[in-house]
């Protein structure tokens, strides 16, 4: 499974990239607004940090303007994946960009039939939103399972990018179901490292080592 970080905080992205575990980045208008910086500037800096796909989202809702924004965004760097909403206009833009060789991340997916449409439109990534479905009493993980099954049935090349992930269990379940990518806030990625028995075991090892009075490195 690939790990993308869902943020526009460049310092966080740089720190996570140094772990060697980061495969890409997703952003959205809300995350860009939170950064307080110009979108093109932020996307360019992020693309220089990671060679993986960096999703930059259009903000227009009509087809013509959306396509112009998409062409501008993809010109920022070669690893930009243009992000479009799962609307009729968004799918039209997706088809055109895909035919031009541009990677497209279709976002705000809340049903498996929507995911099917995105794959038929040539999306490189589909972003089903797990947490937001859970918030309204639906089963977000079932959407991942259904989408993965449909894509396998028809050998679609579109990658399932599990989004709106709230906790490590979402990551585990998505991986077991066969999702290709999980995109998470920095805090959720760091939560994957943590387990109380790891901390307890390390404390015990260090306490025993301290009793020996030894040092690994020569003085």
The stretch 185-204 carries a mean pLDDT of 97
Q: Catalytic annotation on 83?
A: yes
pTM for the structure as a whole? 0.95
The stretch 65-83 carries a mean pLDDT of 98
Percent of the chain at pLDDT > 70 equals 100
Domain count, the chain: 1
Residue 131 lies in a domain: yes
Confidence of residue 219 (pLDDT cuts 50, 70, 90): confident
Mean pLDDT over all residues of the chain?
Answer: 97
What confidence score (pLDDT) does residue 70 get?
98
Residue 219 lies in a domain: no
Residue 107 lies in a domain: yes
Q: Give the residue numbers spanning the domain of 198.
A: 2-212
The stretch 199-205 carries a mean pLDDT of 97
Residue 218 lies in a domain: no
What confidence score (pLDDT) does residue 65 get?
98
Angstrom distance (rounded) from CA 78 to CA 218? 47
Residue 8 lies in a domain: yes
Angstrom distance (rounded) from CA 60 to CA 68? 9
- Torsion angle of the four alpha carbons 96, 98, 101, 102, in this order, in degrees rounded to the nearest 10: 100
Residue 122: pLDDT over 90: yes
Question: Out of 34, 83, 120, 194, which one is annotated catalytic?
Answer: 83
**What CATH code is carried by the domain that includes residue 85?**
3.20.20.70
What confidence score (pLDDT) does residue 132 get?
97
């Amino acid at each position: 499974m690939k790990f993308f970080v869902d943020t526009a905080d460049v310092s966080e992205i740089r720190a996570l990239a140094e772990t060697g575990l980061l495969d890409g980045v997703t952003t959205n208008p809300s995350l860009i607004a939170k950064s307080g910086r110009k979108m093109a500037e932020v996307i360019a800096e992020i693309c220089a940090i990671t060679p993986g796909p960096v999703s930059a989202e259009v903000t227009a809702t009509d087809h013509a303007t959306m396509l112009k924004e998409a062409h501008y965004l993809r010109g920022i760097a070669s690893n930009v994946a243009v992000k479009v909403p799962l609307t009729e206009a968004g799918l039209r833009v997706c088809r055109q960009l895909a035919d031009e060789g541009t990677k497209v991340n279709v976002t705000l997916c809340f049903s498996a039939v929507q995911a099917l449409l995105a794959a038929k439109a040539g999306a490189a990534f589909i972003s089903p939103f797990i947490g937001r479905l859970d918030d309204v009493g639906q089963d977000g993980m079932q959407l991942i399972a259904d989408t993965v099954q449909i894509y396998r049935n028809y050998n679609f090349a579109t990658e399932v990018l599990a989004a709106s992930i709230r906790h490590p269990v979402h990551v585990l379940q998505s991986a077991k179901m066969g999702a290709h990518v999980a995109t998470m806030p920095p805090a959720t990625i760091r939560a994957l490292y943590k387990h109380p028995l790891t901390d307890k075991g390390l404390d015990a090892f260090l306490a025993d080592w301290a009793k020996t009075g030894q040092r690994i490195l020569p003085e």
